[in-house]
Amino acid sequence: DSGVTQTPKHLITATGQRVTLRCSPRSGDLSVYWYQQSLDQGLQFLIQYYNGEERAKGNILERFSAQQFPDLHSELNLSSLELGDSALYFCASSTGTGNTGELFFGEGSRLTVL
């Protein structure tokens, strides 16, 4: 158990809809990262927050947004969903600000867009 909690584990929705994925980091970790994993693209870094502030941005679509709240949990909002957004979405946390320390991943939220 990594200590990172993600909800929901599975989500099925329709194109055009909006969903919110939630992540609770490990106790004491200030950084939260969101990744998208699909079969053909591997792990794609979306965005990182550190102590409530956006720290780094990756290949995150404009239809996607995220935030980190004062209690350090984070939410990833996906809107105007398309079939291609079907993927596993992972949250990870770490103690520091950079990506070069150990990342602790949750078990992921599997999104299916029909």
Partner 1 sequence: QQQVKQSPQSLIVQKGGISIINCAYENTAFDYFPWYQQFPGKGPALLIAIRPDVSEKKEGRFTISFNKSAKQFSLHIMDSQPGDSATYFCAAANEHSNNRKLIWGLGTSLAVNP
5 scored as a contact of partner 1 (CB under 8 A): no
28 scored as a contact of partner 1 (CB under 8 A): no
4 scored as a contact of partner 1 (CB under 8 A): yes
- Sorted by sequence, the CB contacts under 8 Å of residue 86 that are 6+ apart come out as 38, 111, 112, 113
Residue 27 or 100 having the CB closest to partner 1 = 100
43-82 binders of partner 1 (CB under 8 A):
43, 45, 48, 56, 58
Among 19, 90, 111, 113, binds partner 1 (CB under 8 A): 90
Return residues touching partner 1 (CB under 8 A). 2, 4, 41-43, 45, 48, 56, 58, 90, 92, 97-100, 102-108
